[in-house]
A and B are shown apart, each in its own frame.
Chain A
Amino acid sequence: MLLAKQKHHAFKKTPGQIFADVIIYIIVGLAGVVTLLPMVYILAMSLSDPGAVLRQEVFLIPVGFTLDAFKTIVQLEGIGRAYLNTGIYLVSIVVLSDLATVLAAYPLCVRRLFGRKFWTVFLIIPMFFGGGLIPSFVLMVNLGLYNSYWAIIIPSIVSLWNIVLVRTYFRTLPYSLFESAYIDGANDLQTLFKIVVPLAKPIVAVITLYTAVGVWNSWFNARLYLADEELYPLQYYLAQLLVFKPTGIEDKIDVIDKGAELINEYMQASQLKYAMIIFVTGPILCIYPFLQKYFIKGALIGSLKE
């Protein structure tokens, strides 16, 4: 108590200021709580006893803690496939996209490139003007890529925003790096991958994370370009269960369970949706706090551009 008092004296805070402090802490704390509430509610629902969920007894703390909903979910028909598909999309898009980004950003920083201005403008125009949804869709159909893994992967490889971001970063490196290696006899690919990219690791980390989260969360391209359930990524699988075919979840529950506890299942249906949400969002929510600084860095560099 005494210590606390002394501290306040050290900062010369009047009672009015302390009061203001308290108010500020409360408002900011409330903002945090409000942001968190929906997720806590969903989590509590997914971990509760199905009966308690049905009787609407659950609010923010699980009632009759059980992992049953999650046990049912991992057995849902097609969910493993969807997780695997998202994995395939994630790895291939991240690798190809990172590669394409540095490959495009590097030449734009090399002064001896012929027509550098032209290429830059060539890349910037589509950032502001595009053909729109339908011409892209028609193109995909005409190329015969509709309903294939490529329909999801190819359109996501080039991110103009990432190219601009990486180019901006490359430009902060001393230009002599680009030239001296070249003069020493290294070709452009060697210069890029042996010298420039290792120095640009932070920005590569930023675009990798952005791409990965983007792929993990995307569903619309799947709606547009995929017809075959076998190819669905996780988010679109989830969208089917939550939104497009909300009663479909009962069909996907394993046949063995079905005979035994049909009624119980029905009770679980809405709870299963909550558990699905946690199951799909969990990985990202667990990871992002640790990688936050990279995401913030990306947001700030992106806004500065030039």
Chain B
Amino acid sequence: MMLLPVMALVFIFMYVPMGGILMAFQEYSIGGPILPWDPGVKWVGFEHFIRFFESEFFGRIIWNTVRNSLLTFVLGFWVPIVFALLLNEIGNKYFKKVVQTVSYMPHFISTVVVAGILLGILDYDDGIVNQMVEMLGLDRINFFNEPVYFPFIVVISGVWQSFGWNSILYLAAIAGIDQSLYEAARLDGASRLQQIWHITLPGITPTIVIILVFALGGILGGDMEKILLLYNPGIYETADIIQTYTYREGIYGFQYSYSTAVSLFVSVLNFALVFGANKVSNKLTDYGLW
């Protein structure tokens, strides 16, 4: 009995949209028929999928999405690990506490505010970054209108937002390491670097592997909200990712069926990736989602 209200909500707002995937194989318009047994439904088979595969967007948005993920990995994956290792070496409790609290801050800031800050500090005319660029004797940079910069803006601000928060898991793993290992190592004359290398790092390796595997599983995900706030048609070439494309085509282009087809294709691919990631994780670390 108690389950009913929640299950009803889950059914209506999560399972019904799953059924809505049917529209990917139809020519759907708002208010029109969608149920498979309705004779009014206009079936088009895989037409939308084929149109997507043949369009120039297919390669572009998938590459942009994957590239952002890879860039996040290269520029950001190691940051929380190194940060956690360094924090762990700090003896002063208060200093440690303050830095930790500060590093979590960006995690609590909304995407809108992050976008606002980026637009502010990177502004062409009065952004602080361009003031510094000019002081160095270089030409001002039009950050939001030149395609080259956009991925870096999104990724680096993402690293800024998440590195402190992501270090929590590593710190917890470090805290779980048996202290007697360090004592033994010290007695044997191991230096601090050696202790980190031979005790701390191996101690957090399972955590690193898990996070790595699931980062790979999420390679087709992206920070849609931030990109929607920051991009503009002039730089779609590098800025547009799968999620922003389907949103735009669907909501603003009214191409409900086409857009659903694109996102269905991607979520099938994504599901396979997560499934694979989980398998790998289970194998490597005995830890998985299921």
Measured CB to CB, the residues of A under 8 A from B are: 17, 20-21, 24-25, 27-29, 31-32, 34-36, 38-39, 41-42, 45, 53-54, 56, 59, 100, 103-104, 106-107, 113, 119, 122-124, 126, 128-139, 141-142, 154-155, 157-158, 160, 163, 188-189, 192, 213, 216-220, 223-224, 235-236, 238-239, 242-243, 270, 273-274, 276-277, 280-281, 284-285, 288-289, 292, 295-296, 299-300, 303, 305
Contact = CB atoms under 8 A, between A and B. Distances in A.
Given A104-B3, A132-B267, A135-B20, A292 B119 contact: no
Interface in B4-20: 5-7, 9-10, 12-20
Contacts of A305: 289
A292 B103 CA distance: 12
Contacts, number: 233
Given A128-B274, A136-B17, A155-B13, A28 B112 contact: no
Given A132-B21, A135-B18, 7 more contacts: A17-B192, A59-B128, A135-B19, A135-B21, A135-B23, A136-B17, A280-B112
Interface stretch (B57-65, B164-172, B198-206): B164-172
B30 A131 contact: no
Contacts of B119: 242-243
Contact of A129 (B31, B228, B267): B267
Main secondary structure of the interface of A (DSSP, over half): helix
Closest 7 CB pairs of A and B: A135-B20, A131-B17, A217-B110, A135-B17, A126-B14, A242-B116, A104-B6
A218 B113 CA distance: 11
A243 to B, nearest CB: 5
Contacts of B3: 103-104, 107, 113, 119
B20 A31 contact: no
B103 A32 contact: yes
Contacts of A223: 228
A292 B105 CA distance: 10
Contact of A141 (B21, B30, B106): B30
Contacts of B164: 35
Contacts of A136: 13, 17, 20
Contacts of A280: 110, 112-113
B256 interface: yes
B72 interface: no
Interface stretch (B38-46, B84-92, B177-185): B84-92
B109 A100 contact: no
Contacts of A188: 1-2
A142 B33 CA distance: 11
B23 to A, nearest CB: 7
Contact of A158 (B9, B101, B172): B9
18 contacts: A28-B95, A29-B95, A32-B99, A38-B160, A122-B7, A128-B274, A129-B267, A130-B17, A133-B251, A133-B263, A134-B246, A139-B12, A155-B13, A157-B9, A160-B10, A219-B111, A236-B112, A243-B229
Q: Which of A31, A128, A133, A134 has the most CB of B within 10 A?
A: A134
A273 B13 contact: no
Contacts of B260: 131-132, 134-135
A194 B129 CA distance: 57
A134 B103 contact: no
Nearest to B99: A32
Contact of B89 (A24, A131, A243, A285): A24
A182 B28 CA distance: 51
A53 B127 CA distance: 11
Interface string B255-290: 010011001100100010010000000000000011
B54 to A, nearest CB: 21
B80 to A, nearest CB: 10
B17 A35 contact: no
Contacts of A274: 120
Contacts of B56: none
Nearest to A243: B229
